[in-house]
Chains A and B, each alone.
Chain A
Amino acid sequence: MNENRKQLIHLTVNGEVQSVAVESHWTLSRVLRNDCGHTGLKEACGEGACGACTVLIDGVAVPSCMVLAVEQEGKSIETVEGLSKNGVLHPIQEAWLEEYGAQCGFCSPGMIMSTKALLAKNPDPTEDEIKEALGGNICICNNYEHIINAVRSAAKKMREKA
């Protein structure tokens, strides 16, 4: 019954072009999770205050729960699911495993995407720069010590690879 309210948009999600019919008030997080099958993305506060839903839109980290899907026509979106390629983990994910970056793991998809944006801009961040860059991502398990180590170790791995 609501088909008539829907609008078709085209997104590139993790490199794959998708066409989705969305209602104007749907958030990007809702559409990615429910309509594009990217449930790796989490929603925890729904109001921009925790970063669990962080995705990269054209390379910029934003909370997808605060973004309208209709406004994303033609955008390129990266979620945590896009990081590993053919079962090979991204260095950030590897670092997360080594350093025990996840406790319950509910903040991890968002933290990892914020980390990706940080390291793209700043390949060798200091501890304070890491803390500041993750300043929009809450971890209720309070696993920040391990998370900061994981970001450091990921940075190192990525510098070595580059």
Chain B
Amino acid sequence: MAELTAIGKSVRQKDGRARVTGEAKYYADFILPGMLQIRILRSPLPAATILSMDTAEAEAYPGVHLVMTHLNFPKAFRKELYYVGDLVAAVVADDETIAEEAMHLIKVEYEKKKPILNMDDAMKDGARQVFDGVDNIQDWPFHAFLSDKDPETGLYKTKTPSDYNGFGDIEKGFAEADYIIEQNHLKYAYCKSPAMEPRGCSADFDGNRLQVYTHSQGMHDEKLCLAQALGIPSSMVNYNAPYTGSSFGGKNAFPLDPNIASHYLVVAGFACLELRKPVHCPYSREEEMVSGWSRGSDTYVKIGFKKDGTLTTMDMIHRQETGAGGDKYPAKNAMLATGAVLYSHNCRHLRGKIQNVNTNRYPAAGWQGYGAPEGMFAVETTMDMAAYELGIDPVELRKMNCMRAGDIDAGWDPLSYISAIISSSGIRDCLDAGAEALDWKNTWRHPSEKTGRIRHGMGVAIFAMGAGRPGPGNSSEAMVKIYPDGSAALVCAVADIGQGQHTVQCQIVAEVLGLPYKKVGMVCHDTDSTPFATLVSNSCGTWIQGWATYEAALDAKQRLLKLAAAHMGVKAEELDMNEKGIFMTAAPDKGCTFAEAFGTRGHYGGLHEVTGYYVNNSPHPHGIHNGKPDEIYIPKEKGAQFISLDVDTETGMILNARVTMAQNVGKALNPKIVAGQLCTSRHGVDNAMLGNECVADKRNGWLMTANWVDYRHCTAMDCDVDPIVIEKPGDPTHPFGATACGEGAACPTLAAFSNAIYNAIGVRIIETPYTPERILRGLGKIEDKRRKK
């Protein structure tokens, strides 16, 4: 490949200027004239039925325009309430104080039900059903057994529905194993899927179009759902989401599902259509805190090894809390941690069962990794136990067994393919790089050698995460326009939620067109102005949107070169372009200007823009092996994370935590963006050492941690992250050899932390968060005999 000019450079953030001047308009910054304020009355009970409501006083309150309940807006509110904070009613008023005052005038009579406030209670025999008629525990409905392995490619040819995911024969596998390591009740606490900007929206209806202003991870998906939820044609809705104040999966809105935390859209939508006035429905932090939780799992893992450390067999049962509904299957990515992907190199027998469990806690949402961090937590702590038991260095044990390029992804996402070829790995490089950074070989000590009050520990965990998914629905489009002045615009709907997609996509355009990055503009404001893009989840932007952008830019370029060829009387194949114009590849001093190619003379005559377009229905042809559509490549995020920390054995506090995060990204399209993504490992740190979990009062279901004082996120002072970006081997499925980078960073942290704590003090904690309480208990330093849990 010729030398890259835009790719691989830390160019400035495309919309950075607006972000640092305060000009960037996030949804709440659209302050529309005459905008009414919506406030939501929320359930005080975790499980109840509304028997009666009296809204007369609230409706009569001066300044109130509308009171919404399940009686007048049955599509927005329910009679049944499933968690504390569930929606009871909404008041639309002249201002927020009036709305709040009126809200307190609504009288509601409830019938209480016995709440189910933890997974254990939900799974008990005879437990009350959270949702009438639905079992509290549900199997992942797409479990499949793979068989019929093609000896040449290693791909499976047959997929049979089953009650678990897997292959081989685990009975046989364990019978033949020399070592079996088993752990049960590995518990990753239910944690808040975070975002800096709390969710909410505004809406405005002019009798013709409904303008919605909000944040988004995929504005087209969300718009289609919203229109359907409101019962109006999609063409009536324009979804404006120019800036999103971060989202890590949690703000994916799906207004069609009454259980998911995107009620603000439906409430504001109906209010606006009814009143024909602009309305604003912002969630306070407290309301945000009862919307969109994640993690929350209870996992069983059993792994069989040969004497030399070869991992042959794996069994996993993974149960995941989904609270009062919400995102249905956040758990399936836990399979990524198993022999299906992460340990696919040697694993010959696998059984993995995924279940989700409903409770009367706050509805689940996706979050960075979407089940993968929970799976990695369970498997990677178990691998660590194995390393100690087998007497093999934890880094070496992983190097022996981790996935490599060419291994088979067997069922991470069995919806869209049977099995697929893992296109690149590099985990072993990441392990080496991290170990070297920490001088692991010389400084690693067995816990039995540690003495003194403050004990140092180091732990490692590896991970694999999706990087875009091939298959139906995962498509994105792009339009690239070249103008006669030699600038270009990328028109697409890929969401930039902080992960840098707008910047990177423009870099791709600049690279393909040979233009300076500065001359590429981005149009990504609303659904009216952009073609469809799938939501940014599974860290797919670089891969799915990336291909669309790349191909659209190529298409635009070809069209322009054709115009120039006609003008110059040569063949388009002989031409190329750069900032100055179009030139002959063989004789770069011969060529024409953009204006000449377009044939424009001011505003008269000629063309004014050339447009390239592409729709990437993944997998892109490059993601297919040997041109056979049933042999597809699948890229992954992957790498290794090391935690170094000290434990104060007298207070139980973790001190001096430091994360070394090594990830092979294939190609860092923008090194600073990539480094920034790796630093999101701190989300794991939040969950590991800041005591975060969903504390719901065990009798009343109140969320005790409904604010950022009682629920903590790292400040700049709490933990350092050293990102190590590895760029080999380039991934064959991407035009620039990149894979993805985003969700991976949060996947290995909880395991690496637990492993580091074990390494420091010889106490293995398999329940998050790693509180001083758990550490001191492990050390035998809590005397109170009354305590039980």
> In the complex, which residue of chain B has the Cβ closest to the Cβ of A130?
B716
Any chain A CB within 8 A of the CB of B135?
no
Q: How does the 8 Å CB contact mask read for A18-39 relative to B, with 1 for contact and 0 for none? A: 0000010100000001100111
| A46-B285, A143-B679 given; A134·B716 CB < 8 A | yes
Q: Which 3 pairs from chain A and chain B are nearest by CB? A: A40-B22, A104-B498, A105-B19
Contacts of A37 in B (CB 8 A): 31
Any chain A CB within 8 A of the CB of B97?
yes
Contacts of B676 in A (CB 8 A): 100, 103, 141, 143, 145-146
Contacts of A99 in B (CB 8 A): 672
Alpha-carbon separation in the docked complex, A90 to B25 (Å): 20
Give the residue of B18, B20, B285 whose beta carbon is less than 8 angstroms from that of A112. B20
Additional pairs, 16, CB under 8 Å, beyond known A42-B245, A97-B17: A39-B29, A42-B197, A47-B707, A50-B708, A89-B20, A98-B12, A102-B16, A103-B498, A104-B196, A105-B245, A105-B498, A139-B716, A140-B713, A142-B680, A142-B682, A145-B723
Alpha-carbon separation in the docked complex, A28 to B646 (Å): 42
The reply to whether A1 and B62 form a contact with Cβ atoms under 8 Å apart is: yes
Give the residue of B31, B244, B245, B499 whose beta carbon is less than 8 angstroms from that of A39. B31
Alpha-carbon separation in the docked complex, A47 to B196 (Å): 13
The reply to whether A146 and B675 form a contact with Cβ atoms under 8 Å apart is: yes
The reply to whether A80 and B717 form a contact with Cβ atoms under 8 Å apart is: no
The reply to whether B197 and A39 form a contact with Cβ atoms under 8 Å apart is: no
Any chain B CB within 8 A of the CB of A148?
yes
The reply to whether B196 and A52 form a contact with Cβ atoms under 8 Å apart is: yes
The reply to whether A97 and B12 form a contact with Cβ atoms under 8 Å apart is: yes
Any chain B CB within 8 A of the CB of A2?
yes
The reply to whether B245 and A81 form a contact with Cβ atoms under 8 Å apart is: no
Interface residues, chain A, CB within 8 Å of chain B? 1-2, 23, 25, 33-34, 37-47, 49-50, 52, 79-81, 83-84, 89, 93, 96-109, 112, 130-132, 134-148
- Pick 8 A–B contacts, CB within 8 A, sort by A: A2-B95, A42-B245, A45-B708, A46-B284, A79-B22, A83-B21, A135-B717, A139-B196
B330-376 residues with Cβ-Cβ distance < 8 A to A are none
Contacts of A144 in B (CB 8 A): 679, 682, 714, 716, 721
Give the residue of B13, B63, B245, B680 whose beta carbon is less than 8 angstroms from that of A97. B13
Alpha-carbon separation in the docked complex, A98 to B720 (Å): 21
| A96-B20, A135-B717, A145-B676 given; A103·B499 CB < 8 A | yes
**B242 CB to nearest chain A CB (Å):** 12
Q: How does the 8 Å CB contact mask read for B271-303 relative to A, with 1 for contact and 0 for none? A: 000000000000011000000000000000000
The reply to whether A23 and B680 form a contact with Cβ atoms under 8 Å apart is: no
> In the complex, which residue of chain B has the Cβ closest to the Cβ of A141?
B498
Any chain A CB within 8 A of the CB of B28?
yes
Most chain A CB atoms below 10 A, which of B197, B284, B498, B716: B716
Contacts of A81 in B (CB 8 A): 21-23
Alpha-carbon separation in the docked complex, A14 to B649 (Å): 51
The reply to whether B673 and A134 form a contact with Cβ atoms under 8 Å apart is: no
Contacts of B25 in A (CB 8 A): 39
Any chain A CB within 8 A of the CB of B225?
no
Any chain A CB within 8 A of the CB of B748?
no
Give the residue of B28, B673, B683 whose beta carbon is less than 8 angstroms from that of A142. B683
Contacts of B197 in A (CB 8 A): 42, 44, 104, 106
| A45-B285, A80-B22, A102-B13 given; A141·B246 CB < 8 A | yes
Contacts of A132 in B (CB 8 A): 717
Alpha-carbon separation in the docked complex, A34 to B35 (Å): 11
Contacts of A97 in B (CB 8 A): 12-13, 16-17, 20
Give the residue of B21, B675, B683, B715 whose beta carbon is less than 8 angstroms from that of A89. B21
The reply to whether A105 and B24 form a contact with Cβ atoms under 8 Å apart is: yes
The reply to whether B243 and A145 form a contact with Cβ atoms under 8 Å apart is: no
Alpha-carbon separation in the docked complex, A79 to B21 (Å): 10
Most chain B CB atoms below 10 A, which of A1, A79, A140, A145: A140
The reply to whether A93 and B20 form a contact with Cβ atoms under 8 Å apart is: yes
Alpha-carbon separation in the docked complex, A34 to B94 (Å): 13
Alpha-carbon separation in the docked complex, A142 to B244 (Å): 16
Any chain A CB within 8 A of the CB of B249?
no
> In the complex, which residue of chain B has the Cβ closest to the Cβ of A136?
B715
The reply to whether A44 and B723 form a contact with Cβ atoms under 8 Å apart is: no
Alpha-carbon separation in the docked complex, A93 to B197 (Å): 21
| A140-B196, A141-B498, A145-B679 given; A102·B22 CB < 8 A | no
The reply to whether B16 and A147 form a contact with Cβ atoms under 8 Å apart is: no
**A27 CB to nearest chain B CB (Å):** 11
Contacts of B22 in A (CB 8 A): 38-41, 79-81, 109
> In the complex, which residue of chain A has the Cβ closest to the Cβ of B746?
A142
> In the complex, which residue of chain A has the Cβ closest to the Cβ of B22?
A40
Alpha-carbon separation in the docked complex, A59 to B709 (Å): 26
Contacts of A46 in B (CB 8 A): 284-285
| A38-B22, A102-B13, A103-B498 given; A45·B683 CB < 8 A | no
